[in-house]
Chain A
Amino acid sequence: MYARFGSGEGRTEGTWELLRKAASYGKGLGWVATGALFATILATVARLAGPAYVRQGLDAVDVADRQALFQSVWWFVGALVLQYISQAISQYWVSGVGERYLADLRVRAFRHLIDLDVDFFSRSKAGVLVSRLTSDIEALTQFVKEGAINVVTSILTVIGVTIAMFLIDTSMALAVLALMPILLGVSVVFRIYADRAYEQVREHIGRVLGAIQEGISGVRVVQAYTQEHRQKLEFGRVNERYFDANIAAAKAISAYFPAVDFLRTSGLALILVVGGNRVLDGEMSFGALVAFLLYLNWFFEPIVQISNLYNLLQAALAALSKLLGILDREAAVPEAIDPVPLPEIVGKLTFDRVTFGYDPAVPILHGIDLEIQAGERIAIVGETGSGKSTLAKLAVRFYDPLGGTISLDEVDLVSIGFEDLRRGVALVPQEGFLFAGTLRDNIRYARPDAGDDEIWNVCATLGIAEWVGTLPDLLDTEVRERGSRFSSGERQLVALARALLAGPSVIVMDEATSNLDPETEGVVEAALATLLEGRTAIVIAHRLATAERADRVVVMDDGRIVEIGHHSELVGAAGPYARLSEVWQAAQTSD
C-alpha cells in the first residue's frame, strides 16, 4: 500500500510532473472528498433533527399523547445513531486522505530538494531548508488535521441551523440573525488583534529559543569570563518580551470570548421575549420554543470555530507558497537525457578552456586548461579565493562550467549518466561527515549492498581494522550526532574507508585543515596513501608534505593556473609556490 508514497528510486521530479501528480492525486481525493462531504452533510442533518424531535415530543406531552411521545424519542435515538456513524466516517475519511497526501508530500518534497544542485545548497541556509521540509509541512498538517473537517462542519452547521430556525419561526430567526453582524464584527476585530499578537509571539519564541541555544553552547565561554549574571539579565529581558507578547494575545482572547458569551445570552433573551410572547399569543407551541432554544446553542459555536481556524488556514497557505518556492526550482545540473555509457573508466580528466563564476557576472575561473593523466596525483595550492575549491567542485560536476568543457576519459561530464559519473569521480571531504546510524552504514554509504567481508577488507587495507576491533559493538557501533562520539581523526578514517569501498577512479579531495594529534595523523596519512594508490587524485593541499608527494603541483591565483610542475622544480623557480612553501616551512621548524 505504500507504493503510492513514491519509491526511493526514480528520476528527478520537475514542477510540472509534480503538479500533474498533484492533479491526478486530486482525482482520487475528489471521489473520497465527495463521500466525506456527503457523510458530513448527513451527520449535520441528523444532529439538527434532534431538536425537531424534542419539539414533536413536547407537543405530544402538551396533549398527553404518550404514544406519540415515545415515537419521537425513538426517532430521536435513530437520528443519533445515524449521526454517530456518518460523523465517524466523515472524520476518518477526511483526515485519512489528508494524512496520505502529507506523507506523499514529505517524500516528494525531500526528493526534489535533495536532487537540486550543490550550488543551491551553498546559497541557502541549512536551517531554512530544514524548516521548509519540517515546520512548513507541519503547518499544512495542522490545517489538514484540525482545520479542514471543522471548517466544513462549521459552515454546514451554520447553514443548517439558520434554515431550521426559519422553519420554526421567521420573526424569531430574524431576531437571532440580527446579532450576526455584531458577532462577525467582533470576530473580525479580534482576528486582527490576535493575528498581530500571535505574530509577535512567534517572533519572540524564536528569540527565546535562540538565546537559550546560544547560552548553552556558549556556556564555557560565559563561565570562563564569569558573565553568568549579565547573561541572566539579558536573557531575562528577551524572555520578558516573550511574556509581554503572550499577554497581549491573552488580552485579545480574554476580551473576545466574554463578548461572544454575552452575545449568546442576548440571543437567548431575545428568543425568550419574542418567543414567549408568541407562545402566550398562542401562535407557537412551547415545544417549538424549546427546540429553538436548543438550536441557538449551535448557532454561535461554528462562527467562533471558523474565526479560530482562520489562523490555521493562513499559516497553511503561507507554508504552501514557501514550499512551492522549493518545488518550483529546477536542478541546475541535470542528468543527461541520453547519457554516453562509460563501461570502463580509466581516469583521465581534462579541463579545456574552462570558465566559471557562481554569479556569471563575476568570473572566478578564467580559461583553465589542465590535462590530468590516469593515475596521476595532482596537488592544487593557492590562497583563499584563488579558485582551487571551485575547480574541485567542477571536477565532480557539482557545477557546470559557463564556458569550455571538462571531460572524463574524453567524454564531457555533462553527457555522462549520474551513476557512471559517481563511479568515475568522487569528492571526498576529508573532514569526514558521518551520518547517524551504525559504523557499517557509514562505511558502505556509497554501496549499501556491500557485505561485512568487504567492509572488513577495506578496513584491513587501510590499516584501521584493529581500531574498529576495539569499538564496543564493532561495525554495529552507533554513530551519534554527526559522529560526536568519534575523534576528528577517527571520523576522517571512516570517510576514507567509505571512499575506498566506493572505489571511484578519480578522487577529488579537500585536505583537512585541522591538526590531528601526531599519532593519529600518522595513521590517517598512511590510510590516505593506500586509498590514492593507483587512482587519479586531485588534492587541495593545505600542507607542504602533500604538495611534495604529488606528481604535479598546480598553483592557482585569481582563477588562473600560474605555475605547474613538480615540487622540486617549482621551489627552484622562485615563483609564488616558492614563497608559499617558505611559509609552510616556517610553520614546521622551530628555532
Chain B
Amino acid sequence: MRLLFSLLASYRREAVLSTLSALVWMVMVIIGPYLTKVVIDRAIEGERRDLLLPLVGAVLAAGVIKALGVGGRRYFAFLLSYRAETDLRNRIFEHIQRLEFNYHDEVPTGELMSRSSSDLSQVRLVYAMLPITIANVAMFVVVVAVMLSIDVTLGALVSLAVPMLLYIANTYARRVIDIATDVQQKLADNTAVIAEAIGGIRVVKSYGQEAQETEKIRMAAIGIYERSMELIKNRAIFIPLFELVAPIATAVILGIGGLRVIEGALTPGEFYQFAEYMVILNFPLRLTGWFFAEIPRASAAGGRVLDLLKTAPEIADPAHPVDLPPGPGDVRFSNVAFRYPDGPPVLDGFDLHVPGGRSVALVGATGSGKSTVAYLLARFYDVTGGTVSLDGVDVRSVRLSELRNEVAVVFEETFLFSASIRDNISFGNPDATDDQVRLAARLAQAHGFISDTVDGYESMIGERGYSLSGGQRQRIALARAVLRDPRVLILDDATSSVDAVTEDEIRNALKTVMAGRTTIIIAHRPSTLALADEVIFIDEGKVVASGTHTELLERVPRYSAVLATAEVG
C-alpha cells in the first residue's frame, strides 16, 4: 500500500488539484444547506421579502463554485488515475519484455495479462477514488461538528447514522466484492470450457459428445446462477437499507426537531438544514464504505504489479561490457554445466568447438539438452558452470544486443507478429531497405510465395490477416534471421512441423543461407542432418560422438537407436 502511495508522487499536480477541487466541492456541499437555512430563517420566517433575492443569489453563487469543484474533482481524478494506469502498464510491458526465458517458461501468459489489465484497473480505481474519499471523510467530520453545534442532543443522535451507514456499506461491499470476484472467476472458467469445446470441435463431433460438452456448460451456468443469486440476495437486503437511512434520520429529526421547534430551541431553517445533511451524506457514506472494502483487493493487486516490476531480469548486460572482436563466428563450449531451476542437470562437462564457418548438426534424444546448447550460445539462459564463448569472448561479458545481433535463432515454433510480411522479416532490422528484405526472402526461398499473395510484402499476417502454411511461416522466420546476417545461425528443429514435401523446399533454402556461416542445426531427419559438415551426438549432457551421419550410424549403436525409428516410420 505504501508503495502505491509512493507512486502518487509522480502525479503530484493531478493529485493535489483533484483533492483541492474535491475539498472546494465538499465545503460548498456543506454551505449549501446552511445558505438555504438562512434564506428560510431570515427571509421567509423573518418575513424580509427584500432579503429573499440577494440570499438566493448567494445560494446560486455557491452552486456555481460547487459545480466547478465537481468538474475539477472528476477531471483531475480521471487524469491522475488513467495517467498512473497507463504509465504502470508501460512499465509492466517493458519489464516483461526484458525478463529472461526462465521467467517466461514458468509464468503463464494469462497471469501476465491479468497483471497488466485487471490488476491495474484495481489500482486505478483506488487512485481515482482517493481525492473524493479524502473530501468525504472531511465532510463527515465537518457535518457532524456543524450538527452538534446547532443542537447537541439532536446532532449526537443523528450523527450516529454516520458510523452506522459506514459500517453497513463496508460490510455490504466486502460481501459483494468477494462474491463478485467469485462470479468473475466462474465466468472465466465458463469461457475456458466454451473456448475448449470450440477449439476441439472436431473431436467433439467425431465422438458425438455434444451432450457431454453441454453438460459442462450447464454445470458452469448453474454455478454462475447460484453465486449470482447470493449477490442478488445481498443487494435486495442492503440497497433498500441504504435508501432508508436518510429518511429514518429525517423521521427522527421530524419528531425530536419538531418538538425543539415548538419549544423554540430550533429554528425551522435549522430543521431543514438537519434533514438536508442526511440526504447529502447518504451517497458519500456508501462510497467511502465501499472504498475501504476495495482497499485490500486493490493493494493485493498493486502488490502483484510491484512484485512483477521488482523481479530483476537475471540475464542483463554486464556492468563492464567487452566489445565483440571481429571474427568468423568461432563457437566454443568449455566444460559447460547447466540445469533449469529445480531441475536435474541437463548439461554436465559439455565441450564443443565449432570453428567459424562450419556447420554442425546436434542429435540427441528428447531431454538430451541439444536445444539448451543453442540457447546458451545466444544467452537466453546462463550456464551454471563452465563458459560459452563466441570468437574467444565469454558470451556473458558482451552486450546482449551485440551478442544476439551475431547469433540468430530460428525457433522450433515459429512466431510471427500481426503485421505485414515485410515488417515481420525486417523485425530485427527495422531500417532494412526493400531490396535487403527481398534479398533475405529470396535466400530463404520465400520470395516466390510472398509475391503470390495479394499484397505481396505488404500482406498482413496473423489473427486478422493472411494465413500461411507451416512451411511458409518457417521460411519467413528464416528470412528474418538471414536479414540479420549473423555470424552464427541456429536452427532449432526448424523443420520438424512440416511434411516431407515442404521440408524439401525449406532444405533448399537452408543450403543457401548456411553457406560460409557458422550454423548449428538441431534436427533428426537424415536429409536435414546431411546439410551439416558434422553431426554431433549428445547423450546424457555430453558430446558422445561426432562425425558424418553415415559414420555415426556405423560406429555408434545408440545413435542408430535414437534415429532408427524415424527411418522405419
Contact = CB atoms under 8 A, between A and B. Distances in A.
A487 B412 CA distance: 14
Interface stretch (A268-276, A338-346, A367-375, A564-572): A268-276
Contacts of B428: 224-227
A214 interface: yes
Contacts of A15: none
A470 interface: no
B32 A265 contact: yes
Interface centre among B39, B217, B224, B237 (most CB of A within 10 A): B217
B6 interface: no
A521 B569 contact: yes
A8 B418 contact: no
Contacts of A228: 94, 97-98
Contacts of A225: 404, 408, 427-428, 480, 484
B261 interface: yes
Interface string A506-543: 00000001110111111001000000000000000011
Given A145-B228, A280-B47, A588-B526, 16 more contacts: A58-B271, A61-B268, A111-B210, A114-B201, A134-B191, A213-B113, A219-B96, A219-B99, A228-B98, A232-B97, A254-B74, A261-B63, A435-B200, A436-B192, A522-B564, A583-B500
B204 A73 contact: no
Given A225-B404, A254-B71, A396 B206 contact: yes
22 contacts: A54-B250, A80-B247, A106-B217, A107-B214, A107-B218, A110-B217, A111-B217, A126-B198, A209-B113, A210-B418, A219-B96, A225-B484, A247-B78, A251-B75, A261-B66, A269-B56, A286-B44, A289-B44, A433-B200, A518-B565, A518-B566, A519-B565
A421 interface: yes
A581 to B, nearest CB: 10
A277 interface: yes
Interface in A195-220: 208-220
B214 A433 contact: no
B80 to A, nearest CB: 10
Contacts of B117: 209, 212
B191 A584 contact: no
B208 interface: yes
Contacts of B566: 515, 518, 521, 588
Given A259-B67, A446-B207, A481 B108 contact: yes
Contacts of A129: 198
A130 B210 contact: no
Specify the main secondary structure of chain B where it touches its partner. helix
A175 interface: no
A232 B90 contact: yes
Contacts of B217: 106-107, 110-111
A307 B306 CA distance: 38
B555 interface: no
Interface string A558-587: 000000000000000000000010011011
A134 B194 contact: yes
B258 to A, nearest CB: 5
Nearest to A133: B194
A91 B221 contact: no
A208 B120 CA distance: 13
B167 interface: no
B272 A293 contact: yes
B178 interface: no
B208 A418 contact: yes
B254 A226 contact: no
Interface in B417-456: 417-418, 427-428, 430
A429 interface: yes
B529 A590 contact: yes
Given A76-B251, A224-B408, A226-B404, A99 B232 contact: yes
A229 B275 CA distance: 60
A413 interface: no
Given A91-B239, A130-B195, A591-B530, A96 B404 contact: no
Given A91-B240, A103-B224, A519 B218 contact: no
Interface residues of A, number: 162
A250 B75 contact: yes
Contacts of A255: 71
B397 interface: no
Q: How large is the interface on B (under 10, 10 to 19, 20 to 34, 35 or more residues)?
A: 35 or more
Nearest to B53: A273
Interface stretch (A64-72, A347-355, A356-364): A64-72
B380 A88 contact: no
B116 interface: yes
Interface string A129-166: 11001100010000001000000000000000000000
A302 interface: no
Nearest to A268: B59
B499 interface: yes
Interface string B446-482: 0000000000000000010000011000000000100
Contacts of B404: 223-226
Given A225-B427, A266-B63, A422 B275 contact: no
B149 interface: no
Nearest to A441: B212
Nearest to A65: B262
Interface stretch (A22-30, A179-187, A233-241): A233-241
A121 interface: yes
B97 A246 contact: no
Interface in B36-76: 36, 39-40, 43-45, 47, 49, 52-53, 56, 59-60, 62-64, 66-68, 70-72, 74-75
Contacts of B340: none
Interface string B76-95: 00110011001001100110
Contacts of B409: 224
Contacts of B181: none
B409 to A, nearest CB: 5
A445 B83 CA distance: 50
Nearest to B115: A212
A226 B272 contact: no
A564 B222 CA distance: 54
Nearest to B429: A225
Contacts of B525: 515, 587-588
B485 to A, nearest CB: 13
A222 B499 contact: no
Interface string B172-211: 0000000000000001001111111111111111111111
Nearest to B183: A141
B74 A253 contact: yes
Contact of B67 (A219, A261, A290, A513): A261
A230 B430 contact: yes
Contacts of A580: 501
Contact of B279 (A57, A297, A426): A297
A469 interface: no
Interface in A78-120: 80, 83-84, 87-89, 91-92, 95-96, 99-100, 102-104, 106-107, 110-111, 113-115, 118
B241 interface: yes
Contacts of A404: none
